[in-house]
Amino acid sequence: MYPMRFLRPLGAATIAAALLAGAVAAAAQEIVLGQVGPFTVIPVPDALEINQGIKAYVKEANKTGIRGRQISFFEADDRYSADGFVEQFGKALQKRPIALLSPIGSNALKRMLDDKLLDDAPVIVINAIPGAESFRTPGHPKLFHIRAGDKQQIEKIITHTRTLGMTKLAVLYQSLQIGTSGWAMAQEAVRQTGGLDLKGVMSAPEPAPLAAAAKQVGTLETQGVLVIGAPRFMADGVAALRKAGVTQSIFVLSYVPPGLIVKLAGVAGARGVGISQTYPNPNGRALPLARDFQAAMKAAFPQITEYTPFQLEGYLSARTVGEALKRDKEAVPTAAGLGATLRAMGEIDFGGYRVDFSKGNEGSRFVDIGVIGIDGRLRY
């Protein structure tokens, strides 16, 4: 022990330096994850619900930590624009995340790939919405998809219509890439399955052309209608079809919240609409995954009593990262190490939902179909 005469009061600069060093050391022990998404402008709550699911997992994981480290999570609003995404992506990298979770929007994802933002960035992206085939083939080595893609959803719906005995199906699709590519996928699915007469009607999203397109669909005398496009287009499409007197079965892809269809088409108009689902029932009790998810949500958001597929999607996106980090052999986790571990760890069963990146960057092909009931709620 030093004699008292050698001890000197610490100066303010010394104390500040010590505190900074401690903060840097603490930050170095954290695992940083982020979400860049459309928290404003977009007319559906997808990004917010994804965010809630991520936070539920982070809160749960931080009770014990992952290999002695806490998870630090941040979000950034890209305002539902490609330019906004590029701007926020650059700012996000300054926080040194090893992964960004569930970006949303065709324009944002296309810009990310076209501008090669991932090529040199020390980060990987887990999950992406929508699941357009153009983001998967060829995709990017640093972009890992949790949800089944549009191709799998459309194939499931086509197969389902054949199971119901349908022989004639119409496709109302949006005059954008998400719609035209979906129409092409539907045609290919019918070529594979056979036995279905398929007719397509393209429409712009504005009310007048959509109303005209809905009337045209009504003249085709088909037994069902598949609507493909952006979430709002699909919901508006259902409302327009019902207004045009189309009473046949209607199907849409997973991006449409049931509540939006009910709001636009009314409970009577929404009844019987089938929505493809890329995750199990978030409010079910049969699967261990559902019980784990609900417990995490209850702890993080006790005011929420009914859960959405997007909340489950956020939870699973974060949990997939967590499971990979538990298996990562690196002393300090990195994006490269995380990506390698995702591919090496094989199939992970989360209790009723499996993810496997050993054969490529598409982790799941799970698709179910839920139907809106007489009470306006989705039934699985």
Q: Does the structure show a pLDDT above 90 at 9?
A: no
Q: How confident is the model at residue 28 (pLDDT cuts 50, 70, 90)?
A: low
Q: How far apart are CA 251 and CA 238, in angstroms?
A: 9
Q: Does the structure show a pLDDT above 50 at 10?
A: no
Give the pLDDT confidence of 197-235 residue by residue, as tens digits: 999 999 999 999 999 999 999 999 999 999 999 899 999
Give the pLDDT confidence of 284-301 residue by residue, as tens digits: 999 999 999 999 999 999
Give the pLDDT confidence of 49-58 residue by residue, as tens digits: 999 999 999 9
Q: Does the structure show a pLDDT above 60 at 24?
A: no
Mean pLDDT of the region 354-363: 96
| Residue 127 · residue 313 · CB < 8 Å | yes
pLDDT of residue 132: 87
Give the pLDDT confidence of 237-253 residue by residue, as tens digits: 999 999 999 999 999 99
Q: How far apart are CA 144 and CA 338, in angstroms?
A: 11
Mean pLDDT of the region 308-314: 96
Give the pLDDT confidence of 56-93 residue by residue, as tens digits: 999 999 999 999 999 999 999 999 999 999 999 999 99
| Helical segments of 168-308, H only | 177-193, 207-218, 231-243, 258-270, 288-300
Q: DSSP for 119-147, please give it.
A: TS-S-EEE--BS--GGGTTT--TTEEB-S
Question: How confident is the prediction for the chain on average, in pLDDT?
Answer: 92
What is the distance of C-alpha 62 from the center of its chain?
Answer: 23
What is the distance of C-alpha 135 from the center of its chain?
Answer: 13
Question: Hey, what domains does the chain have and what are their CATH numbers?
Answer: 28-148+286-355 (3.40.50.2300), 151-277 (3.40.50.2300)
Q: Does the structure show a pLDDT above 90 at 29?
A: no
Q: How confident is the model at residue 42 (pLDDT cuts 50, 70, 90)?
A: confident
Q: DSSP for 72-136, please give it.
A: EEEEEE-TTSHHHHHHHHHHHHTT--SEEE--B-HHHHHHHHHTTTTTS-S-EEE--BS--GGGT
Mean pLDDT of the region 247-270: 96
Take residue 75 and report the two structure tokens written for it.
Answer: 């979000």
| Residue 348 · residue 354 · CB < 8 Å | yes
pTM for the structure as a whole: 0.88
What percent of the chain has a predicted confidence (pLDDT) above 90? Answer: 87
Long-range contacts, 60-65 (Cβ 8 Å, 24+): 60/295, 60/296, 60/299, 60/300, 61/318, 61/322
Q: How many CB atoms lie within 10 A of CB 7?
A: 9
Give the pLDDT confidence of 135-185 residue by residue, as tens digits: 998 999 999 999 999 999 999 999 999 999 999 999 999 998 889 999 999
Mean pLDDT of the region 92-114: 96
Q: Does the structure show a pLDDT above 70 at 11?
A: no
Least Cα distance to 311 among 101, 59, 34, 51 occurs for 51
